[in-house]
Chain A
Amino acid sequence: NAGVTQTPKFQVLKTGQSMTLQCAQDMNHNSMYWYRQDPGMGLRLIYYSASEGTTDKGEVPNGYNVSRLNKREFSLRLESAAPSQTSVYFCASSVSRTGTGELFFGEGSRLTVL
């Protein structure tokens, strides 16, 4: 009954370091998403994967890369972290690509870049 699982929950990086946020869902959903949440700005879409084998840029993709490893897993990589990437990151999944269905969210990964 896990739903969407994100790791790690907390991470502190120095400027220029790299890291990967992992996300896995066990609901057999087709679509997966990465959002970032910043105070006063709501959630902004970084990248999404409409289905296994495809990925596309969202609203704020610069500085990030993603990999849809298989149907269950969707990772987000920061190659060279910057203080502007300090944020809370949420992974989400949905059954389909049509936008009518519910998004299921993980509990978030809080990243601080010094």
Chain B
Amino acid sequence: AQSVTQLDSQVPVFEEAPVELRCNYSSSVSVYLFWYVQYPNQGLQLLLKYLSGSTLVKGINGFEAEFNKSQTSFHLRKPSVHISDTAEYFCAVSDGGRGFQKLVFGTGTRLLVSP
């Protein structure tokens, strides 16, 4: 069964600084990988996803992530953050096998952007 580890529960950063949110996964099969964002008092919304092809995936709001199969990682990056990026970010994985696939979520990383 697949699992997801988000190494940082909270990441404080100053506005306009770069940020990286780390995500590692474990799975015995090929995987699909996702990053979701949750703004305060809202549901989750998709930032980006990796299904196949190019390992560098670009998403909304200037975020991007790189799939690294050898390191089983899918870290999320943004070169310059804004106050409005303050939110909780969840990495998720589903396996690429047959049958119904369910998403397994990490425990989340709270990004705190200050002026």
Contacts and interface: CB of A to CB of B under 8 A. Distances in A.
A53 interface: no
Given A105-B43, A107-B41, A108-B43, A98 B101 contact: yes
B86 interface: no
Interface residues of B, number: 24
B9 A40 contact: yes
Contacts of A92: 43-44
B101 A42 contact: no
A78 interface: no
Interface string A80-114: 00000000001010000111101101111000000
Interface in B29-51: 32, 36, 41-46, 49, 51
Interface in B46-92: 46, 49, 51, 90
B96 to A, nearest CB: 8
A107 B43 contact: yes
B107 A41 contact: yes
B12 to A, nearest CB: 18
Contacts of B101: 97-100
Contact of A99 (B44, B90, B103): B103
Of A4, A41, A90, A98, which is in contact with the most chain B CB atoms at under 10 Å from its CB? Answer: A98
Contacts of B108: 42
A97 B44 contact: no
Contacts of B32: 99-100
Contact of B44 (A41, A56, A58, A90): A90
Given A40-B107, A50-B100, A99 B94 contact: yes
The 8 closest A-B pairs by CB, nearest first: A99-B101, A105-B43, A99-B94, A42-B107, A43-B105, A42-B105, A102-B46, A97-B100
9 contacts: A40-B9, A42-B108, A45-B103, A58-B102, A92-B43, A99-B95, A99-B103, A102-B46, A108-B43
Given A56-B100, A99-B101, 15 more contacts: A4-B43, A35-B105, A41-B107, A45-B102, A48-B100, A50-B100, A90-B44, A92-B44, A97-B100, A98-B100, A98-B101, A99-B94, A100-B32, A102-B49, A107-B43
